[in-house]
Amino acid sequence: MSISIGFEKDVFSLEKLKLPTRHYYFNDTENYVKLLSIGEGIFPKDKIKTYIKLEDSTAIITTESATKVYPSKKEFGINYINIDLKSSNLEVLNDELILYKDSKLLQILRLNADENSTFFYSDILTQGRSYEHFDFDSMLVRNKFFCEKKLEYFENFEVLGKDLKDYIKRHESENYIYLKIYIKTNDNDKFLKELHSNDFDSFTFTKSKKMILGSISANSMIEIKKLQKKIWILYREKLNKEEFCLGKQ
């Protein structure tokens, strides 16, 4: 199950499509792609591969709906994403990830950006279905971000549902939805100050200051999406772009 899409000088191309992955492409005002897996989820042993390549282009990519990860006795579902940017701008706003009870997920993200590229990439993790509370088994994350062919940021960790549940209980936190955002602009110093001036104090530089990243938590999906949108608007303003409607509720 895989899809490979590209943009060269803002011209869209579908290079590979293997069902049940699907896509919708719109270009009324900007290049905009919605990605969809039939069944809207990841089952045990699934290997969903997404390849995105931009050259001298700009694009917005999102998911059609929340990604559900179904229960598994042993096998992991795998979500692999590879992104390559050359003199381009990419904005990725993933809908929430819903890990069902006893589910297992391996997420691998590899993003390459050259000196002239910018990006906004966001992920959302929920507590599971409405009647669940971090009852998933395990989520493994392997995220690598390369800037100018050098590794700028590497995430390599495992989250156990029971540990996350215990953490929230110990800290008596009412927040159970998490948003992670990764950003590269053409002036990270200035943009980080802009984020801090808007009270997004959790954001900071990566080791060489070629990226900005931050995490935010909230107690409702409405609130987390509102915060995601606010930061995205600030990012687009930095690029002299107007607010964009994703066409979702």
Q: What is the pLDDT, as a whole number, of residue 184?
A: 99
**pLDDT-flagged residues of the chain (< 70):** 19-21, 38-40, 248-249
- Taking the C-alpha atoms of residue 74 and residue 235, their distance in angstroms, rounded to an integer, is 41
Instruction: For 179-243, give the DSSP string.
Output: EEEEEE-S-HHHHHHHHHHTT-TT-EE-TTSS-EEEEEEESSHHHHHHHHHHHHHHHHHHTT---
By C-alpha distance, which of 113, 123, 243 is closest to 186? 113
Q: What is the pLDDT, as a whole number, of residue 21?
A: 65
By C-alpha distance, which of 101, 55, 54, 46 is closest to 79? 46
pTM: 0.94
Q: Where are the domains of the chain?
A: 2-238
Q: What is the DSSP letter of 75?
A: P
- Taking the C-alpha atoms of residue 122 and residue 214, their distance in angstroms, rounded to an integer, is 10
Q: Parallel, antiparallel, or unpaired: how do β-strands 138-147 and 89-99 relate?
A: unpaired
